[in-house]
Amino acid sequence: MALLNRDDWYDIARDVDWTLKYVDRDEAFPEEWVGAKGIPLEAWEDWDEPFRVSYREYVMVQREKEAGVSAIREAMVRAKAYQQLDDGHKASTQLHMGTTCMVEQMAVTMQSRFSRFAPCARWRSLGAFGMLDEIRHAQLDMRFSHDLLNEDPRFDWCQKAFHTNEWGVLAVRNFFDDVMLNADCVEAALATSLTVEHGFTNIQFVAMASDAMEAGDVNFSSLLSSIQTDEARHAQLGFPTLDVVMKHDPKRAQQILDVSFWRAFRLFQTLTGTSMDYYTPVEKRKMSFKEFMLEWIIKHHERILRDYGLKKPWYWSQFEEALEHGHHAMHIGTWFWRPTLFWKPNAGVSKAERRWLNEKYPSWDDSWGVLWDEIIKNVNDGKMEKTYPETLPALCNITQLPLGSALDRHHLGCHQVVHEGRVYHFDSEVSKWIFELEPERYAGHMNVVDRFIAGQIQPMNLEGGLQWMSITPEVMGDDAYGYAWAQDYKDMRVAA
Ligand code: MN
Ligand code: MN
């Protein structure tokens, strides 16, 4: 019996839909989940996926990918390769596992929602593959971390992190709860698939994979690259969705992209900006965070906007300013509040590292070096107590990141909104704008500091905060190199 070629049956198989007789369509596809917002059902007939895959092909390719990652993992674990790695780089892997594994698992839910509630049958078919992809990603992270549990208890946070109130994890969770779990299909496709998966994951999974390979972490690098091949495929479902939305409601498309671009950017500054420009050993760095953003994210985002007839976000000049500074702010902040982390950050400000930073960011010394000089002086004078925080920083009610962490010390501003008697604070004009677009969406939430002030965290001091965040002594953050880098500046003390 002759087998049909794929193209002979593909169109029938991907488009399995029928007319419902026993329930109303609105009952089977509630608007809250679909999110068509007035786009007529027929409009989705134009929705056409940019890649074709059958289940048989999918399984074949995925199986090969799994075998590849597995072989490398076994060889690396056997060779105890992890022990040879640089401590700064190790922090990047722990930060990744703790903040990403559960996001992969949340993506399973998002994709399964596509496969059940998306407004057209083709999209629902692809959702099933996306769901299988994301299950694989979460499992890969768990297996990688499980292998390394004996090396460092911090890998327990791969699973544990999202069950704690650690503030950085809460910032990640807040964003993805919003754009993956709380969003309807249409919004999730634009905010998550198009903006995060097709854009920003490149920086976590391509740039980091390349840095990890340079740093000798073949295992982590192969895991990241393998995941990225799936992201690059399933993220494409954002494009046909944008096509349809642009024909019927371009204003909505613009707003969803502008909101998610800023929020994703602030988060990746925190997670990847610090890893790339501070934790990766300086001689192993391929590109700075900014260079990679310009090359891989910004050019690409601008092209999408242009191709679809959208405008650059109104906040573009502020974004460019934040690209120069925000992740340096997040880095000095996270390092200073290091007891609140579950990884050991590398300060990354030895003389050689500083030369690199000033080369990549010409105003670094003026904006950040002066602040580090104070810390360095205190470390070298043995005044360690001055290098630790005593209180919590005020946090933004949108990004959950500290106020003042989007720009440098020359651009501090107060961004507030009073909504129904409550005062909300923001890290930037952009975050304030996001809140004001849909205040009911964000108003009920209390950030860590709101909870602290409300007395939900006891005792009301740093110790109480650490307990509330589930930070235990064996994972509590400290300087990755035990302050050895400060030796570079011993002469500063003599000169003074
Ligand atoms: Mn994924
Ligand atoms: Mn994905």
Cα radius of gyration rounded to whole Å, the chain: 23
**How remote is the CA of residue 125 from the centroid of ligand 1, in Å?**
18
- Interval 344-356: pLDDT, tens: 999 999 999 999 9
- Interval 173-208: pLDDT, tens: 999 999 999 999 999 999 999 999 998 988 888 888
pLDDT at 340 (0 to 100) = 95
Judge whether residue 494 has pLDDT over 90: no
- 382 burial class (0-12, 13-18, 19+ CB within 10 angstroms)? exposed
**How remote is the CA of residue 454 from the centroid of ligand 2, in Å?**
37
**How remote is the CA of residue 364 from the centroid of ligand 1, in Å?**
34
Calculated CA dihedral for residues 338, 341, 345, 347, nearest 10 degrees = -20
**Which ligand neighbours the alpha carbon of 102 most closely?**
1
**How remote is the CA of residue 242 from the centroid of ligand 1, in Å?**
21
- Interval 329-373: pLDDT, tens: 999 999 999 999 999 999 999 999 999 999 999 999 999 999 999
pLDDT at 462 (0 to 100) = 87
Judge whether residue 483 has pLDDT over 70: yes
**How remote is the CA of residue 184 from the centroid of ligand 1, in Å?**
19
Judge whether residue 170 has pLDDT over 60: yes
**How remote is the CA of residue 133 from the centroid of ligand 1, in Å?**
7
**Percent of the chain whose predicted confidence (pLDDT) is above 70:** 99
Helix ranges, 237-369 (H):
238-248, 250-268, 274, 289-292, 299-307, 316-336, 351-360, 364
Sign of the CA dihedral with 404 first, then 406, 408, and 411 last: negative
Sorting pLDDT into bands at 50, 70 and 90, what band is 325?
very high
**How remote is the CA of residue 104 from the centroid of ligand 1, in Å?**
5
**How remote is the CA of residue 7 from the centroid of ligand 1, in Å?**
28
* Cα–Cα distance, 308 to 246 (Å, whole number): 7
Topology classification of domain 42-495 = Ribonucleotide Reductase, subunit A (1.10.620)
**How remote is the CA of residue 138 from the centroid of ligand 1, in Å?**
7
**How remote is the CA of residue 134 from the centroid of ligand 1, in Å?**
5
> Between helices 250-268 and 167-176, what is the axis angle to 10°?
160
Closest CA to 126 of 47, 60, 53: 53
**How remote is the CA of residue 369 from the centroid of ligand 2, in Å?**
37
**Which ligand neighbours the alpha carbon of 192 most closely?**
2
**How remote is the CA of residue 196 from the centroid of ligand 2, in Å?**
8
Q: Residue ranges per domain, the chain?
A: 42-495
**Which ligand neighbours the alpha carbon of 136 most closely?**
1
Task: Take residue 124 and report the two structure tokens written for it.
Answer: 């629902």
**How remote is the CA of residue 394 from the centroid of ligand 2, in Å?**
32
- Interval 378-388: pLDDT, tens: 999 999 999 99
pLDDT at 493 (0 to 100) = 56
Check if the beta carbon of residue 129 is closer than 8 Å to that of residue 187: no
**Which ligand neighbours the alpha carbon of 100 most closely?**
1
- Across the chain, mean pLDDT equals 94
Task: Take residue 126 and report the two structure tokens written for it.
Answer: 């692809």
Helix ranges, 369-447 (H):
370-380, 429-437, 439-442
Judge whether residue 471 has pLDDT over 70: yes
Check if the beta carbon of residue 272 is closer than 8 Å to that of residue 280: no
Cα 258 off chain centre by = 16
* Cα–Cα distance, 171 to 212 (Å, whole number): 25
**How remote is the CA of residue 8 from the centroid of ligand 1, in Å?**
31
**Which ligand neighbours the alpha carbon of 233 most closely?**
2
**Which ligand neighbours the alpha carbon of 223 most closely?**
1
Sorting pLDDT into bands at 50, 70 and 90, what band is 16?
confident
The letter for the amino acid at 205 is: F
**How remote is the CA of residue 199 from the centroid of ligand 1, in Å?**
13
**How remote is the CA of residue 149 from the centroid of ligand 1, in Å?**
22
Long-range contacts of 407-410 (CB under 8 A, 24+ apart): 407/321, 407/322, 407/325, 407/326, 407/329, 408/324, 408/325, 408/328, 408/329, 408/363, 408/367, 408/368, 409/367, 409/371, 410/367
**How remote is the CA of residue 234 from the centroid of ligand 2, in Å?**
7
**Which ligand neighbours the alpha carbon of 135 most closely?**
1
- Interval 285-315: pLDDT, tens: 989 999 999 998 999 999 999 999 999 999 9
Which pTM value belongs to this model? 0.96
**Which ligand neighbours the alpha carbon of 226 most closely?**
1
**Which ligand neighbours the alpha carbon of 234 most closely?**
2
Judge whether residue 495 has pLDDT over 70: no
**How remote is the CA of residue 113 from the centroid of ligand 1, in Å?**
15
**Which ligand neighbours the alpha carbon of 205 most closely?**
1
**How remote is the CA of residue 432 from the centroid of ligand 2, in Å?**
28
Judge whether residue 53 has pLDDT over 90: no
The partner residues of 424 in beta bridges, in order of sequence, read 417
**How remote is the CA of residue 294 from the centroid of ligand 2, in Å?**
22
DSSP 195: I
